[in-house]
């Protein structure tokens, strides 16, 4: 079995799977269960400053959307930071860290945007023996209305300032958790780096309303007939998170800045994908909230098998492997020609590929009277939709054409040379197209 | 001493009273809301779906399943009823394993089709439980149509005609409507008086008058109907039963399976229905299975079903055969009755083994005897009482694609008409299509 030991900004854990700051890490009881199940680390649910704890709503805190078979694919919450007393949390963190010295214990923090508030909390957290802190600049509901959470995360200057205060006032590594509720994730990441952050973690949850009750006309989750936007997470947000992680990994300003990947990680495969796009480790929440802590065992065994099969001996070898291949659209090779191919032996003749192509794409699949579906290469643009809507794995593939063969759609010979949009004859601005035109 | 399965001869109350309710409860319990959602979730919403093609009434199955999955079972039911007004009964009695579910792509993919029949029942039950009728009659056209036979074909025809605004009068020989739905189906396939409630619900569209105890023959003649109505539809089924053509067929307790099934369906207390200790059912169709299985469920000690050809030729589906054997029925293939023996009443049946010689069935000469104090004949029904003058084809009333007979004023459908399998769902399709043809004709006449 592969060695999954992880060293993230100097914080060691037996595997790269941490539980994200969220309800599963709100108290000692849960965290002990998580460690017993095998989690490599936890980010303790966000602590606030000393004083009366925050209060939560007393109705439903979560909303969800489902895929097939009522599989939960998106979860939304309107829960706030911990609603338990600071001292109690600190005592529990200390006890857990003492009993599980090999596991990573990070403490998430959110206090008002004033230096004295941070100066006050940092030493007491440090005293617990915790391995590091994560600055919650991402929570999009409730706390943001009080000038914290994503209200900070949406202003790069605040991120930089608070990060700097923390770096100046603690020896613990500082991870800055970023909100996706912005237009360009690179800017807050750059700010965190300027402030001295050891790492960023992302994404926090996305502003969302999961559903509306069509009898009461209340957004859901409904608190007595009213709903407020909450934070969205779970498998459905993974593509958004992967892109944001890649954006930071690719950005020259932030390249090399350690990233803790968060957002819909549900399986070992998701975790590995985040890591290949630059995440040094991953944080998980919704998968655990859906299935319990045991899911980590599949993540451990799956990543081990993957690494063993490829002779990879350290998780660090995976990190960033896909980053060089993550490009802008204009860099893509326009001479790469593929065609859909249907494996007639695997086809169950549902006709979804035909409906999708005929109704919504390029009319490149024919259907015979006896339900044989065939790709017409002279119409197929290789959009991939047929393969995606096919219910049978590997029944439809997108096969690359060899250079020198004819693309039946265009009648052109497939060129071996790489050529992208910037040099394409149809490009009105030629090589200058990567410069955005002025809008005035 | 109370009767038991081992009580000799023909006897009633072979089982404890509670056993009858258990034995004759729903063959397939209805789906709960959760089960329906799980089942509906498996549908791939195929393009030009094979299941639709396989359904004689062409119900838009992917659409109604999607409607169930989005919480609108009533809309799903309307989708079903638009094509098949007896969709509730068909959901219960259709051999889905040889129709829609046989061609389901998930049968191809995983050997496990979407549970289409049960989903259809779920949707139709939901709407009918609300007492709603999803269709409204068109304005009265002033045209009248006689429909003879209140079975599946006649009911489907009458409903569609009424929907189109015609005034329909139905005539049925029995005291109740429903035809084979009421009299010819195993009790565990249609429980709780479903057939009658379905007839009542269907008639609630209005514009249909039903005259029971009114067989064609007596005072009601085809010429009279032609004179009194603008069009006539015949859905009279198959009233005759094929003979065994075996010696001793006339002995007591050699009975028609259809009569046994009808008696059983009409019994308010199943314990009062007498059944033999040793029952022999001769035939290989659904009627044979229904008679054999129900004999066993009534407490018969030994039930043997004997079919003259091989398993692969049996018209009862694989599922039906397995149902029979799972209930303890013994099935003997490739054997034909030679004679019924007994002193006045049947005591045994002698069979000869058969073999297929160049497509012709021949006795091998080897015989065996099965003890039988009750023998049910289920070797097919025949057309009986069809009006003179109508052309026949294969022993049935000859019809064209629209259901029109050789008399341009008379249409026919269901088991009495040529073409199609003798299935409820086929009868519904034929009745519906004949109604559309009649409507076209009456509308064109102005």
Please compute the mean of the pLDDT values over residues B141-169 and round it to a whole number. Answer: 98
Residue B44 and residue A70: Cβ atoms within 8 Å? no
DSSP H/E element including A1:
none
Q: Chain B residue closest to A350 (CA)?
A: B46
What is the pLDDT, as a whole number, of residue A433? 47
pLDDT band at A2 (very low <50, low <70, confident <90, very high): confident
Strand spans (E) along B217-262: 231-234, 240-241, 254-256
Helix axes A186-194, A156-169, angle to 10 degrees: 30
Identify the H or E element spanning A262.
strand A259-262
Q: Residue B406's pLDDT is what?
A: 97
Catalytic amino acids of A? 139
Work out how many CB contacts closer than 8 A connect A with B.
34
Chain A CB contacts of B33 below 8 Å? none
In angstroms, the CA B227 to CA A32 distance is 90
Please state the pTM of the whole predicted model.
0.90
Please name the member of B41, B45, B50 whose beta carbon is closest to the beta carbon of A349.
Answer: B50
Cβ within 8 Å, pair A351-B38:
no
Question: Is B332 an interface residue toward A (CB < 8 Å)?
Answer: no
Are A69 and B38 inside 8 Å of each other by CB? yes
Chain B residues near residue A348 by CB distance under 8 angstroms: 105-106, 108-109
Look up the ipTM and state it.
0.85
pLDDT at residue A431, rounded to an integer: 52
**Both tokens assigned to A220:** 């859901």
Q: Which residues from B are below 8 Å from A68, CB to CB? A: 41
- Given an 8 Å threshold on Cβ–Cβ distance, is B37 in contact with A349? no
The C-alpha angle A61, A62, A63, rounded to 5 degrees, equals: 140
Q: What is the model's pLDDT at position A149?
A: 82
pLDDT at A143 over 90: no
How far is residue B158's CA from residue B434's CA, in Å, rounded to a whole number?
10
Q: Specify the pLDDT at position B55.
A: 97
For residue B109, the chain A residues in CB contact (below 8 A) are 348, 391-392
Can you read off the two tokens belonging to residue B370?
């099965």
B172-B174-B175 Cα angle (round to 5): 105
Across the range B124-150, mean pLDDT stands at 96
Tokens of B333: 């293939």
Nearest to B298 by CA among B379, B188, B192, B195: B188
For A357-392, the pLDDT digits (tens) are: 999 999 999 999 999 999 999 999 999 999 999 999
pLDDT of residue B239: 92
What's the rounded mean pLDDT across residues B138-144? 97
Using CB atoms and an 8 Å cut-off, which of residues 30-49 of chain B contact chain A? 37-38, 41, 44-49
The candidate with the shortest Cα–Cα distance to B283, out of B257, B262, B265, is B257
**Contacting residues of B for A349, CB less than 8 Å apart:** 46, 50, 105, 108
Q: Residue B217: exposed, middle, or buried by beta-carbon count in 10 A (0-12, 13-18, 19+)?
A: exposed
d(CA A369, CA A361): 21
Instruction: Tell me how close the Cα of A230 comes to any Cα of chain B, in angstroms.
Output: 25
In tens, the pLDDT along B194-207 reads 999 999 999 999 99
Instruction: Give chain A's mean pLDDT.
Output: 95
pLDDT at B340: 97
pLDDT for the residue A430: 62
In terms of residues, how long is chain A? 440
Residue A242 has pLDDT above 60, yes or no: yes
Q: Residue B291 in contact with residue B185, Cβ under 8 Å?
A: no
Say whether pLDDT at A342 is over 60: yes
**Which residues from chain A sit within 8 angstroms of residue B45, using beta carbons?**
352
Domains, chain B:
33-129 (1.10.1060.10), 144-239+383-445 (3.50.50.60), 241-377 (3.50.50.60)
Phi/psi-derived region of residue B61, left when phi > 0, alpha when psi is between -120 and 50, beta in every other case = alpha
Query: Could B47 and A351 be called an inter-chain contact, meaning their C-beta atoms sit closer than 8 Å?
Result: yes
- CB-CB contact of A372 with A339 (8 Å): no
In chain B, the residue whose alpha carbon lies closest to the alpha carbon of A371 is B50
Whole-number percent of chain A with pLDDT over 70: 98
Are the Cβ atoms of B47 and A348 closer than 8 angstroms? no
pLDDT grade for A440, boundaries at 50, 70 and 90: very low
User: What distance in Å separates residue B80's CA from the closest CA in chain A?
Assistant: 21
Find out whether the peptide bond into A203 is cis, omega within 30 degrees of 0: yes
- Residue A7: beta bridge partners? A12
- Taking alpha carbons only, the member of B192, B217, B378 closest to residue B282 is B378
How many Cα atoms are found within 13 Å in the side-chain-facing hemisphere of A167? Answer: 17
Q: Chain A contacts of B48, Cβ < 8 Å? A: 351, 367, 371
Question: In this complex, do B106 and A348 lie within 8 Å of one another by their Cβ atoms?
Answer: yes
Cα(A88)–Cα(B22) distance, integer angstroms: 60
Residues B50, A371: C-beta atoms closer than 8 Å: yes
The tokens describing B257, both together, are 């399976």
* Phi, then psi, of B147 in degrees rounded to 5: -120, 120
Is the separation of the CB atoms in B330 and B302 below 8 Å? yes
A49-107 tens-digit pLDDT: 999 999 999 999 999 999 998 999 999 999 999 999 999 999 999 999 999 999 999 99
Of the candidates A70, A350, A354, the beta carbon closest to that of B44 is on: A350
- Set out the domains of chain A in order of their start, with CATH numbers: 6-325 (3.20.20.70), 329-432 (3.30.70.20)
* Residue B45 contacts residue B415 (beta carbons within 8 Å): no
Q: Side-chain half-sphere of A60: how many Cα atoms within 13 Å? A: 19
DSSP secondary structure letter of residue A58: S
Spell B27-46 as b/e; 16+ CB within 10 A means b: eeeebeeeebbbbbbbbbbb
Query: In whole angstroms, what is the distance from residue A107 CA to residue B42 CA?
Result: 44
Residues on chain A bordering chain B, Cβ-to-Cβ distance under 8 angstroms: 68-70, 348-352, 354-355, 367, 371, 391-392
CB B442 within 8 A of CB B230: yes
Specify the pLDDT at position A180: 96
Task: Beginning with the edge strand found earlier in the chain, give each strand of the sheet holding B335-341 in spatial order.
Answer: B335-341, B348-357, B360-371
pLDDT at A439: 47
The β-bridge relationship of strands B374-377 and B278-282 is parallel
Q: With bands split at pLDDT 50, 70 and 90, how would you rate the model's confidence at A139?
A: confident
Mean pLDDT value across residues B123-127: 97
**Per-residue pLDDT tens digits for B31-57:** 999 999 999 999 999 999 999 999 999
Q: Do A355 and B44 touch (CB under 8 A)?
A: no
pLDDT band at B16 (very low <50, low <70, confident <90, very high): very high
Per-residue pLDDT, averaged over A311-324, amounts to 96
Instruction: State how beta strands B348-357 and B360-371 pair.
Output: antiparallel
**Do residues B415 and B381 touch, judged by C-beta distance below 8 A?**
yes
Interface test with B, best of A69, A211, A347, A348 (most B CBs within 10 A): A348
Q: How far is CA B325 from CA B20, B24, B293, in A?
A: 19, 16, 9
Which of B37, B47, B109 is nearest residue A348 as measured by Cβ atoms?
Answer: B109
Residue of B37, B44, B108, B114 to mutate, testing the A interface (most A Cβ within 10 Å of its Cβ)? B44
Residue B311 has pLDDT above 60, yes or no: yes
Distance CA A289, CA A270 (A): 16
């Amino acid at each position: 079995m592969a060695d999954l030991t992880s060293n993230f900004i100097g914080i060691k854990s037996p595997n790269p799977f941490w539980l994200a700051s969220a309800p599963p890490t709100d108290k000692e009881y849960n965290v002990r269960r998580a460690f017993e199940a095998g989690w490599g680390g936890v980010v303790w649910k966000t602590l606030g400053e000393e004083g009366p704890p925050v209060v939560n709503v007393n109705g439903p805190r979560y909303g969800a959307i489902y895929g097939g078979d009522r599989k939960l694919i998106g979860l939304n919450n309107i829960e706030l930071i911990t609603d338990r007393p600071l001292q109690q949390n600190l005592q529990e963190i200390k006890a857990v860290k003492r009993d599980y010295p090999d596991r990573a214990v990070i403490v998430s923090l959110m206090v008002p945007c004033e230096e004295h508030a941070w100066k006050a909390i940092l030493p007491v957290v440090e005293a617990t023996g915790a391995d590091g802190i994560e600055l919650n600049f991402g929570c999009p509901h409730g706390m943001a209305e009080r000038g914290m959470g994503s209200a900070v995360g949406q202003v790069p200057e605040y991120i930089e300032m608070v990060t700097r205060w923390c770096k100046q006032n603690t020896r613990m590594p500082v991870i800055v958790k970023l909100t996706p509720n912005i237009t360009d994730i690179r800017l807050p990441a750059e700010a965190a780096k300027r402030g001295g952050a050891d790492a960023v973690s992302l994404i926090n949850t996305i502003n969302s309303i999961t559903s509306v009750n069509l009898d009461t006309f209340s957004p859901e989750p409904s608190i007595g007939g009213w709903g407020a936007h909450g934070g969205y997470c779970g498998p459905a947000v993974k593509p958004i998170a992967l892109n944001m992680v890649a954006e930071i990994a690719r950005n020259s300003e932030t390249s090399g800045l350690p990233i803790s990947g968060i957002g819909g990680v549900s399986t070992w495969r998701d975790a590995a994908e985040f890591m290949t796009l630059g995440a040094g480790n991953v944080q998980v929440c919704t998968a655990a909230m859906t299935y319990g802590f045991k899911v980590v065992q599949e993540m451990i065994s799956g990543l081990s098998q993957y690494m063993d099969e490829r002779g990879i001996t350290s998780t660090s070898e995976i990190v960033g492997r896909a980053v060089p291949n993550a490009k802008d659209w204009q860099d893509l090779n326009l001479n790469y020609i593929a065609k859909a191919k249907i494996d007639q032996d695997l086809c169950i003749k549902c006709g979804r590929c035909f409906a999708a192509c005929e109704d919504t794409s390029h009319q490149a699949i024919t259907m015979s009277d006896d339900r044989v579906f065939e790709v017409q290469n002279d119409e197929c643009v290789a959009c991939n939709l047929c393969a995606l809507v096919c219910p049978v794995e590997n029944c439809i593939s997108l096969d690359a054409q060899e250079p020198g063969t004819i693309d039946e759609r265009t009648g052109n010979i497939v060129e071996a040379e790489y050529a992208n949009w910037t040099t394409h004859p149809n490009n009105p601005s030629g090589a200058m197209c990567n410069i955005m035109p002025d809008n005035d | 001493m109370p009767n038991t399965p081992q009580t000799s001869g023909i006897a009633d109350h072979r089982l404890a009273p509670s056993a009858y309710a258990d034995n004759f409860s729903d063959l397939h319990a209805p789906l709960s809301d959760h089960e329906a959602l799980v089942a509906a979730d498996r549908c791939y919403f195929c393009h030009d779906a094979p299941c639709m093609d396989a359904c004689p009434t062409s119900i838009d199955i992917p659409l109604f399943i999607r409607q169930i999955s989005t919480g609108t079972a009533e809309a799903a039911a309307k989708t079903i009823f638009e094509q098949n007004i007896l969709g509730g009964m068909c959901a219960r009695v259709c051999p889905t394993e040889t129709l829609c579910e046989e061609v389901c792509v998930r049968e191809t993919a995983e050997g496990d089709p979407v549970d289409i029949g049960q989903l259809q029942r779920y949707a139709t039950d939901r709407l009918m439980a609300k007492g709603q009728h999803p269709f409204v009659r068109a304005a009265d056209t002033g045209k009248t149509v006689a429909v003879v036979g209140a079975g599946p074909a006649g009911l489907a025809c009458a409903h569609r005609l009424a929907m189109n605004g015609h005034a329909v009068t139905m005539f049925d020989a029995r005291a109740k409507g429903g035809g084979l739905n009421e009299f010819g189906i195993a009790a565990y396939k249609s429980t709780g008086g479903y057939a009658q409630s379905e007839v009542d619900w269907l008639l609630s569209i209005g514009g249909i008058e039903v005259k029971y105890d009114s067989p064609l023959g007596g005072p009601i003649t085809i010429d009279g109907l032609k004179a009194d109505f603008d069009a006539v539809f015949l859905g009279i089924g198959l009233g005759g039963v094929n003979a065994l053509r075996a010696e001793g067929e006339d002995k007591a307790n050699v009975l028609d399976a259809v009569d046994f099934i009808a008696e059983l369906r009409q019994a308010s207390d199943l314990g009062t229905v007498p059944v033999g200790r040793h029952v022999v059912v001769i035939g290989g169709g659904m009627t044979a299975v229904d008679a054999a299985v129900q004999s066993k469920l009534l407490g018969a000690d030994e039930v043997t079903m004997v079919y003259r050809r091989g398993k692969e030729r049996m018209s009862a589906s694989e599922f039906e055969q397995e149902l029979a054997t799972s209930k303890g029925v013994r099935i003997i293939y490739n054997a034909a009755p030679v004679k019924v023996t007994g002193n006045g009443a049947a005591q045994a049946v002698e069979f000869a083994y058969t073999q297929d010689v160049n497509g012709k069935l021949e006795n091998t000469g080897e015989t065996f005897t099965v003890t039988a104090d009750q023998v049910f004949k289920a070797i097919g029904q025949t057309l009986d009482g069809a009006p003179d003058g109508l052309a026949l084809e294969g022993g049935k009333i000859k019809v064209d694609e629209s259901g029109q007979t050789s008399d341009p004023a008379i249409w026919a459908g269901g088991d009495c008409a040529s073409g199609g399998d003798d299935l409820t769902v086929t009868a519904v399709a034929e009745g519906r299509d004949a109604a559309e043809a009649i409507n076209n004709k009456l509308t064109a006449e102005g």
